[in-house]
Amino acid sequence: MPPTPRELGFRMPAEWQPHESTWLAWPHDPVTWPDRVPIVEERYIEMIRALTPHERVDLLVKDDNVQSKVADRLRDEKIKNVALHRIPTADSWIRDYGPNFLKREQKNKVEIGYNRWIFNAWGNKYDALLPDDGIPERLPTIQSLERFAPGIVMEGGSIEVDGAGTVLTTEQCLLNKNRNPKLTITQIEQKLRDHLGVTQVLWLKDGIEGDDTDGHIDDIARFTDEDTIVAAVEKDESDANHKPLRDNLAALQAMKNAVGKPYHVIELPMPERVDADDGRLPASYANFYIANKVVLLPIFGAKADKKAEAVLKSLFPSRKIVPIRCEDVVWGMGTIHCLSQQQPAAD
């Protein structure tokens, strides 16, 4: 068998560590965002405007017409530091189908590699989105990097690392029979250790109501440094999210890092519920994205928006918190973290 990333010295760095770029895929699917694609495009422009002073944005566009349209818009907005890649996509959730980047530091030399997980559209829920499984092979700028194929179904939004030996995930997602039904929990944990370069796997139970990804971690709990976890909480006892988030909070408060030290657990409020025509949407402030010098925070025109912003300001004092209105974005069943993927810096 070929050596694993861990055996070769690769690991998944924490999101707050320096980036080379942020990968995005320009929104275009009217099924994902019914009557909302133009609004979501505006939110992308806001995201790109906030990111590009500090790192490159690698942006996938589905065809020549979209590439020309986006190039014109960026020029009009005087936004630079964007690389456009004409690569067809079924949808924009590059966190889940894109490359999972790794880093190796040896003898004053830094190398970047990536995991190419299998993407099955969150348990074969959306046949039209299955073609996005092949996106990592279509990204020309990463083909010279070391590539690893773990051979299992995995999405980037289901894993969260502290950069110091720990990955956090959920039983609802990774142990779901619609992902890897033939693997035991022991085998899944070994895959994570081998391909993320971690020494321990920490498990929460369930995600939030309305989440079609079966409980992705990036809607409920996030590392903000090696010692700190921010945890989504719902104070309203009548809300369906109250109990699972309360249980997750208690579990997090009992967890220790890879060297046996308890984490600092900080509570992050949930917004008021956001509904689509057919039910609740997975609106969560925990779906923020940590970039070079900025943190992009999804907000929802809710009473708790300012409180969530204040929590993140206290946790990221050296970064600017940039709120992005996501009431329309979340109609696609995710927001900023789900739509982005970081590529770590090689220097």
For residue 6, tell me if it sits in a domain: no
**What is the reported pLDDT for 149?**
96
DSSP 277: T
Q: Looking at the domain assignment, is residue 13 inside a domain?
A: no
d(CA 315, CA 297): 13
**If we measure between CA atoms, which residue out of 235, 239, 260 comes closest to residue 249?**
235
* pLDDT(304) > 90: yes
Residues marked as catalytic: 338
Q: Which residues make beta-bridge pairs with 232?
A: 268
Confidence band, pLDDT 50/70/90 cuts, at residue 78: very high
d(CA 221, CA 232): 6
How far is C-alpha 317 from the chain's CA centre?
Answer: 22
Identity of the residue numbered 319: R
C-alpha 89/C-alpha 132 separation (Å) is 6
Quick one: average pLDDT of 43-51? 98
Domain count, the chain: 1
- Give me 108's structure tokens: 């004053």
Alpha carbon 118 to its chain centroid, in Å, reads 16
- The span from the CA of 208 to the CA of 280, in Å, is 10
Summarize the chain as % helix, strand, coil (round to 5).
30, 25, 45
Evaluate whether residue 11 is within a structural domain.
Answer: no
In a domain, 156, yes or no: yes
pTM: 0.98
Render pLDDT for 114-150 as a digit per residue (tens, 0 to 9). 999 999 999 999 999 999 999 999 999 999 999 999 9
H or E, element range at 135: helix 135-138
**Do the domain assignments include residue 3?**
no
Give the separation between CA 260 and CA 299, rounded to whole angstroms: 35
> How buried is 2 (Cβ within 10 angstroms: 0-12 exposed, 13-18 middle, 19+ buried)?
exposed
Q: Is 347's pLDDT higher than 80?
A: no
pLDDT by residue (tens digit) across 224-248?
A: 999 999 999 999 999 999 999 999 9
What CATH number is attached to the domain comprising 238?
Answer: 3.75.10.10
Q: Would you give the end-to-end CA distance of the chain in angstroms?
A: 31
Residue 4 lies in a domain: no
pLDDT at 209: 98
**Is 7 within a domain?**
no
CB atoms within 10 A of CB 91: 23
Residue 106 is predicted with a pLDDT of 84
Whether the predicted pLDDT of 107 surpasses 90: no
Q: What are phi and psi of 147, to 5 degrees?
A: -115, 135
Provide the mean pLDDT of the chain.
Answer: 97
296: its two tokens: 């992009």
Tokens representing 259 are 């060297």
Q: What confidence tens digit (pLDDT) does each residue in 176-197 have?
A: 999 999 999 999 999 999 999 9
The answer to whether residues 97 and 132 touch, using CB atoms and an 8 Å cutoff, is yes
Range of 41's domain? Answer: 19-344
- Let me know if residue 9 belongs to a domain: no
- Per-residue pLDDT band at 199 (split at 50, 70, 90): very high
